[in-house]
Amino acid sequence: MTKSNVKPATSKLGVMVVGCGAVSTTFMTGVLMARKGLAKPVGAMTQYDKIRVGKGDDKKYLSYGEIVPLTDLNDIVFGTWDVYPANAFEAAVNADVLKAKDILPVQDELEKIVPMTACFDKDFAARLDGTHVKDCKTRWEMVEALRNDIKEFKAINNCERIVMLWAASTEVYVPINMAVHDTLEHLEAAMKANDTKNIAPSMCYAYAALAEGAPFIMGAPNTTVDIPAMWEMAEKTQMPICGKDFKTGQTLVKSGFAPIIGTRCLGLNGWFSTNILGNRDGLVLDEPANFRTKEVSKLSTLESILMAEKQPDLYTDYYHKVRINYYPPRNDEKEAWDNIDIFGWMGYPMQIKINFLCRDSILAAPVCLDLVLLSDLAARAGKVGTQRFLSFFLKSPMHDYTKGEVPVNHLYQQYTILKNAIREMGGYEADEELD
Amino acid sequence: MTKSNVKPATSKLGVMVVGCGAVSTTFMTGVLMARKGLAKPVGAMTQYDKIRVGKGDDKKYLSYGEIVPLTDLNDIVFGTWDVYPANAFEAAVNADVLKAKDILPVQDELEKIVPMTACFDKDFAARLDGTHVKDCKTRWEMVEALRNDIKEFKAINNCERIVMLWAASTEVYVPINMAVHDTLEHLEAAMKANDTKNIAPSMCYAYAALAEGAPFIMGAPNTTVDIPAMWEMAEKTQMPICGKDFKTGQTLVKSGFAPIIGTRCLGLNGWFSTNILGNRDGLVLDEPANFRTKEVSKLSTLESILMAEKQPDLYTDYYHKVRINYYPPRNDEKEAWDNIDIFGWMGYPMQIKINFLCRDSILAAPVCLDLVLLSDLAARAGKVGTQRFLSFFLKSPMHDYTKGEVPVNHLYQQYTILKNAIREMGGYEADEELD
Amino acid sequence: MTKSNVKPATSKLGVMVVGCGAVSTTFMTGVLMARKGLAKPVGAMTQYDKIRVGKGDDKKYLSYGEIVPLTDLNDIVFGTWDVYPANAFEAAVNADVLKAKDILPVQDELEKIVPMTACFDKDFAARLDGTHVKDCKTRWEMVEALRNDIKEFKAINNCERIVMLWAASTEVYVPINMAVHDTLEHLEAAMKANDTKNIAPSMCYAYAALAEGAPFIMGAPNTTVDIPAMWEMAEKTQMPICGKDFKTGQTLVKSGFAPIIGTRCLGLNGWFSTNILGNRDGLVLDEPANFRTKEVSKLSTLESILMAEKQPDLYTDYYHKVRINYYPPRNDEKEAWDNIDIFGWMGYPMQIKINFLCRDSILAAPVCLDLVLLSDLAARAGKVGTQRFLSFFLKSPMHDYTKGEVPVNHLYQQYTILKNAIREMGGYEADEELD
Amino acid sequence: MTKSNVKPATSKLGVMVVGCGAVSTTFMTGVLMARKGLAKPVGAMTQYDKIRVGKGDDKKYLSYGEIVPLTDLNDIVFGTWDVYPANAFEAAVNADVLKAKDILPVQDELEKIVPMTACFDKDFAARLDGTHVKDCKTRWEMVEALRNDIKEFKAINNCERIVMLWAASTEVYVPINMAVHDTLEHLEAAMKANDTKNIAPSMCYAYAALAEGAPFIMGAPNTTVDIPAMWEMAEKTQMPICGKDFKTGQTLVKSGFAPIIGTRCLGLNGWFSTNILGNRDGLVLDEPANFRTKEVSKLSTLESILMAEKQPDLYTDYYHKVRINYYPPRNDEKEAWDNIDIFGWMGYPMQIKINFLCRDSILAAPVCLDLVLLSDLAARAGKVGTQRFLSFFLKSPMHDYTKGEVPVNHLYQQYTILKNAIREMGGYEADEELD
């Protein structure tokens, strides 16, 4: 009946993860356990969600895999880079996210996932002290070394396709510099000139991935692929890119809760968000320069959902503040606390507090899986450049700010865009209008 | 271009409110203040929301009044019944919801809203001791007395149309009895036979309203119009009815928060909801028989949003408990506390707590306004019987359970239905598919 | 210098625990682990607290064991009764409180703790369905069977002394009946007449313990030893008794937080406390008759700390409500939520919310240890009857209500009484005045 | 029987308040209302608390005024300085803390309290822009101008005694500089040399007060009198001083809650405290240099209550973090949120969250009253220098750090010291031993 124009997902997919920490190992372990039937990949849209296709009497609900050709979990091969040499089993145990009973059944497979040396510059993550790093004289050498890693990994593991996923720490904030980041030519020149101020190591990873014909996913708030030069690179290599910053705890709730207020036409006076988290991510963010990157990412969420220009009586001049605090006692089990000051009939104030006792890696892992599978899908569907349909999974969705585009942060608008894209790639009508 | 088939909203609309307590007086005061430009009717969809009509390039966002002919706030005339004789000004002051500065500018108008004697049976609200009641020997006499009240009110105030709104307390739970509540014939017989067990006073109000050609809105969880006999009466009189239970604090949040969990395919182990409230509503609900009515209403919300049959891995056997507690210290400023036990990747548990410091009447008042204006609209549009498009405003939306219909509790599904109905009545395409 | 008149703690102490559930097995496992140096008995005053003795320059801080002769953990032998036959190892695993790594090192010792059949009456705990029960025709037969159990246990294990601890479920509320519970003679007569209404099974345990020369500790809110007949029995046998209801989560916080308010002379308008808990204790309390027992116990706490007669401007007519809700998703990890409405300068209101994510058995286990060691100490010190110095550990401390005595619930007053008693038994001056 | 050696409180007491903002006007208004019987001074120990005197059978409970001669509220005359010229009535209305009905009855009296021009240096409070300031060329000129103000005020109002209270904003952090702050000689030299870096304006206020024979109270966390030079000045003038930082919201709770944990011998892994506040105090603290002053003050609280050296198993290496955030939506109604990670039996973790919706000025006003009355009492009792018995009211109690003294932050230890001091001044035995 319907017909997808997407290339089938044959053979192996190499999933190359930058960083082999809590998020990465939770993601890998869960996939390995799930394909043995020993764990459920809860939270992954590609594994659980069902999308309506057709209308009225023709309406039916299909899972993603029934609509488009997704890579099977059994066809995934994992690779990784890290500044520490511990293999994925050791790293998973160190991360202390999963219980022994949820790791041990796949110990053998995890032990075989041994990090390659990382491209690292301590100026971009002062709190990390790993030494399992490549000795590169310039950023361009980093690119070349990484391309080599990819080629070798692909050959050894007999992979048809590669996806690269950044699940490493947040780098220090790199302001967009239009003298460097504007064109591919400038970017490459800066890499060769070893402009260590404007070229973050993550840019070398992204460049290498695209150069090798692999989609690139930015899971941290780094601006890596959020620059015109990289968009040009994606065009040139005909590859999809997406980012940035996995939408996991507080922002997930915020992007879902703000619509409740907006839909009911309640007013907003202020929203205060604070986080405490204790894993390596928290440690890195305790450095003000790294936090800055994150803060910019987190603040934008609300502003694009509750808009003064649309409802001046309700959303003018509300006060929005986001704080992140390093707090080690609970490790990966981060916690968010939100105070929301709303107002109703005749302007009378009310308060809502949300306390989310979440787990960073448990929420991020299914997002990793979805972004990997859907980026690979996008590549096979011939979709090039920034993949806005993946905004659903991201705190700070990429958009072409040079043309004044605005990001979509509203959870249900993002969901509509996601569903329409899946429908379309599956040969169905993309029939949901974005309200 | 488009053309609405709805009769215009000419002349006066009589809004007859059962109960002149906190909710009623907050509603009335706000409307009177708003039409003087002294307060904003925040939270009212009819006053603030904008609905998309058209698609693609033709897409535009219109307010309700631009799509369909709504009654102007200036054309509303208020009437009320209560078991206490205090006029609406005195009652508003007693209710202690609004500050003096928000009542005094309309004191004159409020003082003229003097309650008619109520039809009351203490067996249905043991905690109330009002004596401003009609002396009726049978339920049928109640109906006749109320019909007379409506006729007089309409004539005196020169109203073209009437809407009746129940904003009084929750009555004791009246189980649906298919020997009495099944047909209009049986219902009328029971009223005449003064079957005080099966015929709640609220049924007399509803019957009287319909008999006089007025839509009836049930704002409490009473089963009043939620029975086949009343559906038959609505058909016979060609009138719309709707109910039940204003969706205000905790349930509003629940019906908006559960979709976040469901949309992200996270699992649910349990949801515990507790409320503390101190106004007259809380006092009545402190009586177990009255609470029962409310509990049944509140529990259903979740079950129809997160469904085991659709996602057995995620929503099988979660534990849902709702508690309401009378707690006088904060009067109308009720408070809800929810604990939500979710699980993610590989089944790992996380917790969310929501603490809502809300105000019962501040949230209910705009719902009153919307239900009144939209019920009146529905009547002019020739819509008969249960108005499912108003589910958005209700905790326990009416549905034909005799045919196995299920209610829609998902906030955004309710919103879609609402928008489609407005579009349709406005002569636009009802183009949103219900997912 | 100082000289204690307490008999030394020589030889073995048999600790016979009624109920082999979550609390009991956590207590036992912790003691066994601690004496191997594999766990720390955190929360136990006898193991951690230091008491000042002497004044001014002579002031020094000593641990309990340095002041009085306490039984060494190595000298404890555990016995138990339960309605289920599982041994303490199996029961600890089922209880799912402790991780495997905290149980396995003492598996052998736990497996040897095999429950004796229980004296049980389903009318007193409808939700329990255990069948590992004695077949007794009368309450008096229960007493005799239990006395026999104690004698045998003592002989087999070569114990010099026995302490009996009730760590089983809450029974249904047994109102104090002064025709039965007033004198030992009446009590014994009722046991022989098998008055199953007035004689709870727990009374048979207590009677048997005292008859065999063992102190009895009531850890549930049962009125078991809170009756004149049992006080007489304690006098007759020259034994100490104490109870009732381990002070663990919410009440511990309440008895410590109310003094903050009281000490700063802030006013109180209301205090609402709700609990969710999912272990066997929660299941039993879900039965209204059993909850009633608990509620009476929990409500009294506040009333004796913040008193209207002492501060009428501050503590007159505050509203205090306690709710307990069975909520299985988190098992032993119960949760308390308190809302406290205070007022300050000129009567202005403020709110405090306390959310305690606690663990029932983790908080109860050290209380078990302290009560056992201190009851045994009291026996060796010749202290007879109700031990008020143990109020510190109890939600609803026993007191002679027939003489109008009031209980002490204020955490720091209780602590003062505890310290004075230890000082006194240790031959030091009991020099703290109770404020 | 007992006999106080304190001079009686005859004639008028001039209370000169630095800063005429929210705290000051709430304090003044409450005192004026209370002496008319129109409001209750809730939270003031001097007005409500009762102290035990005597022991055993001689024990009785007396209010402060029955033990020592306190100034009557009717004998208070208020004066103030501020950088804005608004009188106390206007300032109280602007502060928006109290309702109109609680201010209007004393409008006349408040209007007569007109600020004198302030001694101000914008470098010490960058966010304030008031211009109602004295034109002084040096810090020494400030001192002289303020001494003149005091003399005039005393004469005009016919006051026998003066107390000066700093209730103005937090200044930027002034590190203690032992080349300037060590001796009175150095301090005076620096004032004359106009050393604007080391001499905060608040030091001029304190110096002037002492020079005029008035006790000085530092209600902000400024180090003003927390330096040896000022201790010398207090000795020289034979005056009492006290500080610093009113203990109101979060720290009050912390200093009362930490003892619950400590008393029960529970362990601590971490304590995270965050605050949101929106009044002028919050605005000033939003400036990092001013926040630093506050943070130092707030962190010390916990460390002196739960001490690793006393209980290494329980309190070693816990993580304590305090954050203050400017958040305007709720003005004076600040809010604190604490997360406390404790552990119990065998090291198992539990969590406590405390959410305090408090009001800055409502909690500070009674502290102002107590500190004023008790400082005046101390002066009449001939007590000189730092008044440690007032630690109860202060976040960061002054102590002689040059001699290695440690502050007392434990609420109940502070209370014991307070009671003993009152007893002693009243001629009773100071019979409570500090544990």
- Give ipTM to 2 decimals: 0.93
Measure A269 CA to nearest chain D CA, in Å.
6
Whether B105 is in a domain gets the answer: yes
User: What's residue C293's pLDDT?
Assistant: 67
The string of DSSP codes covering B147-177 is HHHHHHHHHHHTEEEEEEEE-SPPPPP----
Contact indicator for B31, B76 with CB cutoff of 8 Å: yes
User: What's residue B405's pLDDT?
Assistant: 85
Contact indicator for B340, A256 with CB cutoff of 8 Å: no
Whether B7 is in a domain gets the answer: no
User: What's residue B1's pLDDT?
Assistant: 43
Identify all chain A residues contacting B29, using CB atoms and an 8 Å cutoff. Answer: 346
Q: Residues A270, A187: one domain? A: no
- Alpha-carbon gap, residue D155 to B199, rounded angstroms: 80
Phi, psi of C261 (to 5 degrees): -60, -45
Q: How far is CA C248 from CA A5, C202, D123, in A?
A: 64, 21, 52
Q: Which residues contact C148 (CB under 8 A, 6 or more apart)?
A: none
User: What's residue C215's pLDDT?
Assistant: 98
Q: For position B292, which CATH number holds?
A: 3.30.360.10
Mean pLDDT score across all residues of chain A: 92
- Alpha-carbon gap, residue D220 to C232, rounded angstroms: 60
Whether C2 is in a domain gets the answer: no
- Alpha-carbon gap, residue D21 to D168, rounded angstroms: 7
Closest by CA position to A231, among listed A246, A210, A247, A212: A210
The structure tokens listed for D385 are: 């220098």
User: What's residue B3's pLDDT?
Assistant: 65
Average pLDDT in the A44-48 region? 96
- Alpha-carbon gap, residue B16 to B209, rounded angstroms: 9
- Alpha-carbon gap, residue C288 to C296, rounded angstroms: 12
Whether D162 is in a domain gets the answer: yes
Mark which residues 55-84 of A lie under 8 Å from B by CB.
55-56, 59
For residue B395, say if its preceding peptide bond is cis, omega within 30 degrees of 0: no
Q: Residues A225, A259: one domain? A: no
Contact indicator for B354, B335 with CB cutoff of 8 Å: no
- Alpha-carbon gap, residue D435 to B114, rounded angstroms: 66
Contact D319 A341 (CB under 8 A): no
For residue B341, give the nearest of C270, C329, C341 by CB distance. C329
Contact indicator for A364, A165 with CB cutoff of 8 Å: no
Block residue for tokens 């963010």 = A285
Whether D434 is in a domain gets the answer: no
* pLDDT surpassing 80 at residue D430: yes
Measure B140 CA to nearest chain A CA, in Å.
38
Q: Residues C310, C370: one domain? A: no
For residue B335, give the nearest of C335, C339, C355 by CB distance. C339
Q: Residues D84, D151: one domain? A: yes
Contact indicator for D49, D194 with CB cutoff of 8 Å: no
For residue A42, give the nearest of B343, B359, B362 by CB distance. B343
Q: Residues D373, D225: one domain? A: yes
Measure D256 CA to nearest chain A CA, in Å.
22
Residue D129, CB half-sphere, CA atoms under 13 Å: how many?
Answer: 2
CB proximity A105 to D under 8 Å: no
Q: How far is CA C30 from CA B215, B323, C36, C367, D95, in A?
A: 67, 36, 10, 12, 56
Contact C433 D59 (CB under 8 A): yes
Nearest chain A residue (CA) to B52: A435
Q: Which range, A116-125, D250-259, D364-373, is most confident? A: D364-373
Contact indicator for D67, D426 with CB cutoff of 8 Å: yes
CB proximity B330 to C under 8 Å: yes
The residues with which D240 forms a beta bridge, in sequence order, are D385
User: What's residue D3's pLDDT?
Assistant: 65
Residue type for A349, please?
P
For residue B260, give the nearest of A49, A253, A357 by CB distance. A253
For residue B337, give the nearest of C318, C337, C349 by CB distance. C337
Q: Which chains touch B (3 or more CB pairs under 8 A)?
A: A, C
How many domains does chain D divide into?
2
Contact indicator for D207, D164 with CB cutoff of 8 Å: no
Please say which residue of C357, C372, C391 terminates a domain. C357
- Alpha-carbon gap, residue B258 to A257, rounded angstroms: 10
Range of the domain at A263: 250-357
Average pLDDT in the A24-48 region? 97
* pLDDT surpassing 70 at residue D298: no
Contact indicator for C423, C51 with CB cutoff of 8 Å: yes
Q: Residues A165, A263: one domain? A: no
- Alpha-carbon gap, residue C407 to D45, rounded angstroms: 26
Q: Residues A264, A122: one domain? A: no
User: What's residue B298's pLDDT?
Assistant: 66
CB proximity A269 to D under 8 Å: yes
Q: Residues D146, D237: one domain? A: yes
CB neighbours (10 Å) of residue B309? 7
Residue type for C87, please?
N
Q: Residues B172, B311: one domain? A: no
CB neighbours (10 Å) of residue A68? 27
State which residues of chain B have pLDDT below 70: 1-3, 280, 287, 289, 293-294, 296-298
Contact B346 A362 (CB under 8 A): yes
Q: Residues B173, B88: one domain? A: yes
Q: Residues C126, C273: one domain? A: no
CB proximity B304 to C under 8 Å: no
Contact B362 A350 (CB under 8 A): yes
* Strand B60-63 with B50-53, pairing: antiparallel
Q: Residues D218, D263: one domain? A: no
User: What's residue C343's pLDDT?
Assistant: 96
- Alpha-carbon gap, residue A36 to A31, rounded angstroms: 9
- Alpha-carbon gap, residue B329 to B321, rounded angstroms: 24
Mark which residues 350-369 of A lie under 8 Å from D by CB.
351, 353, 355, 357
User: What's residue D289's pLDDT?
Assistant: 67
Residue C4, CB half-sphere, CA atoms under 13 Å: how many?
Answer: 21
Block residue for tokens 């009188």 = D87
Contact indicator for B175, B159 with CB cutoff of 8 Å: no
As a whole number of Å, the end-to-end CA separation of chain A is: 29
Closest by CA position to C23, among listed C340, C371, C432, C422: C371
Q: Assign A1 a pLDDT band (cuts: 50, 70, 90).
A: very low
User: What's residue B2's pLDDT?
Assistant: 55
- Alpha-carbon gap, residue D214 to D234, rounded angstroms: 10
Whether B227 is in a domain gets the answer: yes
CB proximity A268 to D under 8 Å: no
Q: For position C218, which CATH number holds?
A: 3.40.50.720
Contact B330 C270 (CB under 8 A): yes
Please say which residue of D336, D357, D378 terminates a domain. D357
Q: How far is CA B250 from CA B168, B277, B305, in A?
A: 19, 12, 15
CB neighbours (10 Å) of residue A142? 25
Whether A227 is in a domain gets the answer: yes
Give the SS3 label for residue B349: strand
A-B CB pairs within 8 A amount to 202
Tens digits of per-residue pLDDT, C283-312? 777 767 677 666 766 677 788 889 888 899
- Alpha-carbon gap, residue B350 to A356, rounded angstroms: 8
Whether A1 is in a domain gets the answer: no
Contact B433 A432 (CB under 8 A): yes
Task: State how far Cα A356 lies from the chain centre.
Answer: 20
Q: Please report the beta strands in D2-148, taking only residues with DSSP state E, as ranges in sequence order.
A: 12-18, 50-53, 60-63, 76-82, 116-117
Q: What is the mean pLDDT of each run of 10 residues along chain C (435 residues)?
A: 77 96 96 97 95 90 95 98 96 91 95 96 83 94 97 96 94 88 96 95 97 97 93 97 91 91 94 86 70 69 86 93 87 90 96 94 96 98 96 92 87 93 93 82
- Alpha-carbon gap, residue C199 to C185, rounded angstroms: 13
Percent residues over pLDDT 70 in chain C: 96
Contact indicator for D179, D394 with CB cutoff of 8 Å: no
* Strand C267-277 with C240-243, pairing: unpaired
For residue B346, give the nearest of A30, A344, A433 by CB distance. A30
- Alpha-carbon gap, residue B87 to B107, rounded angstroms: 10
Please say which residue of B357, B376, B397 terminates a domain. B357
Average pLDDT in the A385-408 region? 91
User: What's residue A303's pLDDT?
Assistant: 84
Mark which residues 393-422 of A lie under 8 Å from B by CB.
411-412, 415, 419
As a whole number of Å, the end-to-end CA separation of chain B is: 29
Tens digits of per-residue pLDDT, B287-297? 676 777 667 66
CB proximity A104 to B under 8 Å: no
Nearest chain B residue (CA) to C322: B325
- Alpha-carbon gap, residue C29 to C217, rounded angstroms: 20
The structure tokens listed for B306 are: 């997160």
Report which DSSP code applies to A118: B
The string of DSSP codes covering C115-167 is PEEBP--GGG-TT-----B---SSHHHHHHHHHHHHHHHHHHTTEEEEEEEE-
Give the SS3 label for residue A86: coil
Q: How far is CA C104 from CA A102, C75, C94, D139, D344, in A?
A: 19, 21, 13, 72, 20
Residue C216, CB half-sphere, CA atoms under 13 Å: how many?
Answer: 32
- Alpha-carbon gap, residue C229 to C212, rounded angstroms: 17
- Alpha-carbon gap, residue C145 to C149, rounded angstroms: 6
For residue B151, say if its preceding peptide bond is cis, omega within 30 degrees of 0: no
The kind and range of the H/E element at D159 are: strand D159-166
